[in-house]
A and B are shown apart, each in its own frame.
Chain A
């Protein structure tokens, strides 16, 4: 059976069409969420569900401006605050984790200690371990020290949360650098600080950016600890979203969709730009292509 000769591993527009269809089917739930963000409250809960409707920007506006939308169980949406909280808490935590983590990663990579593998293993395990195990004591700790409901408490926790991930990811970047370049710099008289800040860091800048972004995504999506440890003023978006589910009817899906869509924008950016780093980020640096 003779077939049309084609280069192995390549395909044309016909194939693109097929994959696009599959991709869109897979993407459909996300698409629906985005559409919902533009729906009015009645449209969002229309029976049967509406695919075509007149769009509105009201929901996006509501996210940022204080607006009381009374629902059956009266949840005044203070989304602007929660939005800010999420970003502020996540951002600070991730940055702190990266600072501490990068130093540690540098050490693990360049100055291997005796128990290197053990330390790394422990660090990874703390990330893998079920949050449930630590949540009880942490809850107690926070209650005792008055950290519950404060910014510092949850930020400290999230920093610890992000350290393993930062360490593993950044270490994998350091491991890929050529040590000969650093040695050459040292022989030229540069002291350790110059080698680190002047040579190593600039080379992995892209990787650091990727680490930051992944860390942000993981952290601002976090739910369990935020649920237990944030107070009314420090509440983050995921918790706020969950709380609105209290009453069945009257959940403002349009508003929630708007929030998700807003969060999606940076995610789209990231996914597109960092496709090559994606695998590393998602497996916490344990797998590289």
Chain B
């Protein structure tokens, strides 16, 4: 059973919410639609579910075109952002609700409810109604109601967004475990990158109705395809430094001028040789990859430490060369003081180069 989206588009009047996207989710795979609010991820999910009618393009479930089918006939399972628990039914009745359509016997229904109760530890709240539940419990019931079935696919709309930070951590792990056992394609919509990075087999980063990149969490993090993905994934945010490429220096190194007169020679992707010297580019380096040093080097620039933020096991330092701001994260044991002048090094392999069209210069 697979999910395939071909050229899928959704317009609300003049607003294009989803712009001709192509996406495939294979059997048993967990795919996360990740992006800022308004990027079209929820609309896409709802089109897969059958709750929104596509303006253009097709949705295929298991190879069959399902555009014309209602949500009910698609036999999908969906967990809503607002849980959508039936207010007058108990938790047990809520869980059992979708099973009636399968015409199972009472014993079978009871057995399945018992199994889900076990999996999600819902023993204590089985007889309660939704208004008597805590957020975390509601969320588990919502998830439970989805996985109690045997549908064509699982869809989750912002499953953890309403939970506080601690609960989220707990639930992330739980859900990941649950998802491992499912053998159907699963699509999760979220705006929280940490969720996506931990739970997904692949992430589709979306912006303004389009997919910016689809890849494994590792690749999306280590090899962002463009400026948007680079800036969106990773906390603290990647440092983005405008620079001018001055020329290749051999051994895979390249020279860059930055505003304010400083220059550096750093090792970047070999494809740098494809662009002309004098071209404006953006250099991207993650805070944890920058190194602060007392000694100057060819791949460093001189910066002053403006602010030091202890974060427990790590320290976040805000540095500036007078024009550009950089963030560097180091181990908490490294001694640094505000006002200190250090040399910030761009070690080999740490820097991504983005050309003017915002695409990454990368050898695939």
Interface residues, chain A, with chain B CB atoms under 8 Å away: 1-8
A2 x B68 contact (CB < 8 A)? yes
Interface residues, chain B, with chain A CB atoms under 8 Å away: 50-53, 67-73
Residue ID in chain A nearest B72 by CB atoms:
A3
- Closest chain-A Cβ to B236's Cβ sits at a distance in Å of 38
Q: Which residues of B contact A2 (CB under 8 A)?
A: 68-70, 73
- Closest chain-A Cβ to B355's Cβ sits at a distance in Å of 43
Residue ID in chain B nearest A7 by CB atoms:
B53
B73 x A3 contact (CB < 8 A)? yes
A4 x B68 contact (CB < 8 A)? yes
CA A7 – CA B70 in complex, angstroms? Answer: 9
Residue ID in chain B nearest A5 by CB atoms:
B70
Which DSSP category, helix, strand, loop or mixed, fits chain A's interface? Answer: loop
Q: Which residues of B contact A8 (CB under 8 A)?
A: 51
- Closest chain-A Cβ to B73's Cβ sits at a distance in Å of 5
* Beyond A5-B67, A5-B71, 9 extra complex contacts between A and B, CB < 8 Å: A1-B73, A2-B69, A3-B73, A4-B68, A5-B68, A6-B70, A7-B51, A7-B53, A8-B51
- Closest chain-A Cβ to B340's Cβ sits at a distance in Å of 49
CA A178 – CA B73 in complex, angstroms? Answer: 47
A sample of 5 inter-chain contacts (CB < 8 A) reads A1-B73, A2-B69, A3-B72, A5-B71, A6-B53
Q: Which residues of A contact B73 (CB under 8 A)?
A: 1-3
CA A4 – CA B71 in complex, angstroms? Answer: 10
Q: Which residues of A contact B70 (CB under 8 A)?
A: 2-6
Instruction: Tell me which of A2, A6, A7 has the highest count of chain B C-beta atoms within 10 A of its own C-beta.
Output: A2
Instruction: Tell me which of B50, B69, B70, B73 has the highest count of chain A C-beta atoms within 10 A of its own C-beta.
Output: B70
Q: Which residues of B contact A4 (CB under 8 A)?
A: 68, 70
What 10 A-B pairs are tightest by C-beta distance, nearest first? A5-B70, A2-B73, A3-B70, A2-B69, A5-B53, A5-B68, A5-B50, A5-B69, A4-B68, A7-B53
CA A7 – CA B52 in complex, angstroms? Answer: 6
Q: Which residues of A contact B52 (CB under 8 A)?
A: 7
Q: Which residues of B contact A5 (CB under 8 A)?
A: 50, 53, 67-71
Residue ID in chain A nearest B53 by CB atoms:
A5
- Closest chain-B Cβ to A259's Cβ sits at a distance in Å of 47
Q: Which residues of A contact B51 (CB under 8 A)?
A: 7-8
CA A8 – CA B53 in complex, angstroms? Answer: 11
Q: Which residues of A contact B69 (CB under 8 A)?
A: 2, 5
CA A5 – CA B66 in complex, angstroms? Answer: 10
- Closest chain-A Cβ to B66's Cβ sits at a distance in Å of 9
Q: Which residues of A contact B71 (CB under 8 A)?
A: 5
CA A3 – CA B66 in complex, angstroms? Answer: 11
- Closest chain-B Cβ to A5's Cβ sits at a distance in Å of 5
CA A8 – CA B52 in complex, angstroms? Answer: 9
- Closest chain-B Cβ to A8's Cβ sits at a distance in Å of 7
- Closest chain-B Cβ to A6's Cβ sits at a distance in Å of 7
- Closest chain-B Cβ to A96's Cβ sits at a distance in Å of 45
Q: Which residues of B contact A3 (CB under 8 A)?
A: 70, 72-73
Residue ID in chain B nearest A8 by CB atoms:
B51
- Closest chain-A Cβ to B322's Cβ sits at a distance in Å of 45
- Closest chain-B Cβ to A123's Cβ sits at a distance in Å of 33
CA A150 – CA B278 in complex, angstroms? Answer: 99
CA A65 – CA B71 in complex, angstroms? Answer: 65
CA A2 – CA B73 in complex, angstroms? Answer: 6
Q: Which residues of B contact A6 (CB under 8 A)?
A: 53, 70
- Closest chain-B Cβ to A253's Cβ sits at a distance in Å of 51
CA A278 – CA B70 in complex, angstroms? Answer: 36
CA A1 – CA B73 in complex, angstroms? Answer: 7
